[in-house]
């Protein structure tokens, strides 16, 4: 009888902890970047996570046979996507936001978006690979890589740019970035992780630049 009571107490305790953990799992809340966010970016030390530009959804990735060296096997960036990526890059320059290292997923749409926006070939990071078509086990190292990139301190006077995909950030923090070409701003906190500061959708740049006097 005593043994049964002990087992029952343990089960009840575990159930209580499970319920408490679930109640603390608060949903993601999107924040719109402000003029203060731009001023923080001007000072540097932050990470910008940019989703690639608009793509042609009528031509999906050729799963599971995507060839990273053959863009015809991947969902392509449209001309409008290139133009929108270039416009975001121009807005960052107008805002006098210093850009340092630019890393991109190995997919063609992210590499092309990075080139259009920053006029340079990005460093290709396999850890930023599109995660939507991966198994849970295959996602683990990608999630670890992105968490590390968002948490690692960046020197003042420069900002790290990551050009990648919406599902990757969804896997890390429950945030599916949309629309395409949205820039998400993070403050790296080292061992404490990272702080989400806000998001800048492509159509918001005009108003922010006007507030900034640009």
% of residues, the chain, pLDDT over 70:
88
Report yes or no on 123 lying in a domain: yes
Q: What band does 4 get if pLDDT is binned at 50, 70 and 90?
A: low
Instruction: Give Cα separations from 81 to 8, 208, 213 (angstroms).
Output: 59, 21, 27
Q: Is the pLDDT of residue 131 over 70?
A: yes
Q: What is the model's pLDDT at position 141?
A: 97
Report yes or no on 8 lying in a domain: no
The CA distance from 26 to 28, in Å, is 7
- pLDDT tens-digit map of 64-120: 789 999 999 999 999 999 999 999 999 999 999 999 999 999 999 999 999 999 999
Report yes or no on 21 lying in a domain: no
Q: What band does 5 get if pLDDT is binned at 50, 70 and 90?
A: low
% of residues, the chain, pLDDT over 90:
84
Domain hosting 138: range is 30-212
Q: Is the pLDDT of residue 205 over 50?
A: yes
For 17, residues 6+ apart whose C-beta sits below 8 A from its C-beta are none
The CA distance from 165 to 171, in Å, is 11
Report yes or no on 157 lying in a domain: yes
Overall average pLDDT of the 129-144 stretch:
96
Q: Looking at residue 155, what DSSP letter applies?
A: -
Report yes or no on 161 lying in a domain: yes
Q: What is the model's pLDDT at position 174?
A: 96
Q: Length of the chain in residues, anyone?
A: 214
Report yes or no on 91 lying in a domain: yes
Report yes or no on 5 lying in a domain: no
- CATH, residue 80: 3.40.50.1240
pTM for the whole thing? 0.87
Q: What is the model's pLDDT at position 182?
A: 98
Report yes or no on 2 lying in a domain: no
Asked if residue 106 lies in contact with residue 66, where contact means CB atoms within 8 angstroms, the answer is no
Q: What is the model's pLDDT at position 100?
A: 97
Instruction: Give Cα separations from 5 to 1, 2, 14, 149 (angstroms).
Output: 6, 5, 14, 48
Q: Is the pLDDT of residue 129 over 60?
A: yes
What domain count does the chain have? 1
Q: What is the model's pLDDT at position 9?
A: 45
Q: What is the model's pLDDT at position 64?
A: 79
Q: What band does 13 get if pLDDT is binned at 50, 70 and 90?
A: very low
Q: What band does 194 get if pLDDT is binned at 50, 70 and 90?
A: very high
Q: Is the pLDDT of residue 6 over 70?
A: no
- pLDDT tens-digit map of 16-64: 344 333 334 678 999 999 999 999 999 999 999 999 999 999 999 998 7
């Amino acid at each position: 009888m005593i043994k049964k009571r002990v087992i029952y107490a343990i089960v009840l305790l575990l159930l209580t902890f499970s319920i408490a953990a679930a109640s603390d799992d608060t949903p993601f809340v999107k924040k719109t970047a402000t003029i203060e966010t731009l001023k923080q970016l001007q000072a540097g030390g932050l990470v910008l996570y940019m989703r690639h530009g608009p793509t042609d959804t009528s031509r999906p990735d050729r799963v599971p046979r995507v060839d990273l060296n053959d863009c015809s096997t991947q969902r392509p960036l449209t001309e409008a996507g290139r133009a929108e990526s270039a416009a975001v890059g121009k807005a960052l320059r107008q805002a006098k936001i210093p850009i340092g290292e630019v890393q991109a997923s190995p997919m063609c749409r992210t590499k092309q978006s990075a080139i259009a926006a920053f006029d340079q070939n990005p460093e290709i990071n396999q850890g930023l690979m599109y995660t939507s078509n991966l198994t849970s086990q295959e996602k683990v190292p990608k999630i670890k890589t992105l968490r590390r990139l968002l948490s690692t301190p960046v020197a003042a006077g420069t900002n790290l740019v990551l050009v990648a995909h919406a599902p990757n950030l969804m896997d890390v923090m429950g945030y599916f970035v949309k629309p395409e070409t949205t820039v998400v701003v993070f403050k790296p906190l080292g061992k404490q992780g990272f702080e989400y500061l806000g998001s800048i959708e492509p159509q918001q740049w005009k108003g922010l630049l006007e507030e900034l006097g640009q």
